Amino acid sequence: MTVPWRPGERGITYKEQKDLTLRPRCCLQCSESLVGLHGGRSSEQGDQDQLKELYSAGNLTVLATDPLLHQDPVQLDFHFRLTPQTSAHWHGLLCDHRLFLDIPYRALDPGSRESLTATLEYVEEKTNVDSVLVNFQTNRNDRGALLRAFGYMGFEVVRPDHPALPPWNNVIFMVYPLERDLGHLPSEPP
């Protein structure tokens, strides 16, 4: 089922559209970057945006481009330790109260749900993000299983022509709106 997202949700501005032509980049620790599973992703930012540890608790470590620069978009990487030797990685871009997460290649592997739950808890408790949008390529073989799994977790498909979506080709987006209290203030940046 495709949803119109939330009533009153505004489209993206020209600057945001330009910013969102960039895609989340894979980190060096991520096996997906080594085997080229994210081919076609922009690396125009180069090494100038080195990721720094922003948060670490339990099995979750969050890395970000320098949040003190207040740049937009901000690259956020979520590393969740599954075992001493393995971890799940979620790569994202934070732009105007929205977090765009690439669904990793092994998103349906054991432990990935737990890693996404920890990521969503961090985002809800520590940021001012209003919605999390996961995305994956339309030609993935596991597309049906991803739609079912993320739908079960509360994500809803967003229609491809929604004005708040970035201009990424051949991508399916699913949104998870975060419920915010009016008095909610995040305890940490970004």
What angle is formed at CA 142 by the lines to CA 168 and CA 165, rounded to 5 degrees?
A: 20
Contact in structure between 36 and 54 (CB atoms under 8 Å): no
pLDDT of residue 38: 38
Q: Give the C-alpha separation, 22 to 14, whole Å.
A: 14
All residues at 6 or more sequence positions from 13 whose CB lies less than 8 Å from its CB, including other chains:
none
Q: Give the C-alpha separation, 159 to 161, whole Å.
A: 6
- Residue corresponding to tokens 């991508």: 171
pLDDT of residue 179: 81
pLDDT of residue 131: 94
Q: Give the C-alpha separation, 54 to 3, whole Å.
A: 33
Q: 184: helix, coil or strand?
A: coil
- Which residues in the chain land under pLDDT 70? 1-49, 67-71, 181-190
The number of beta carbons lying within 10 Å of the beta carbon of residue 127 is: 22
Prediction pTM value: 0.74
pLDDT of residue 19: 46
pLDDT of residue 183: 55
The domains located in the chain, with CATH, are 14-26+51-177 (3.40.630.60)
Q: Give the C-alpha separation, 185 to 168, whole Å.
A: 31
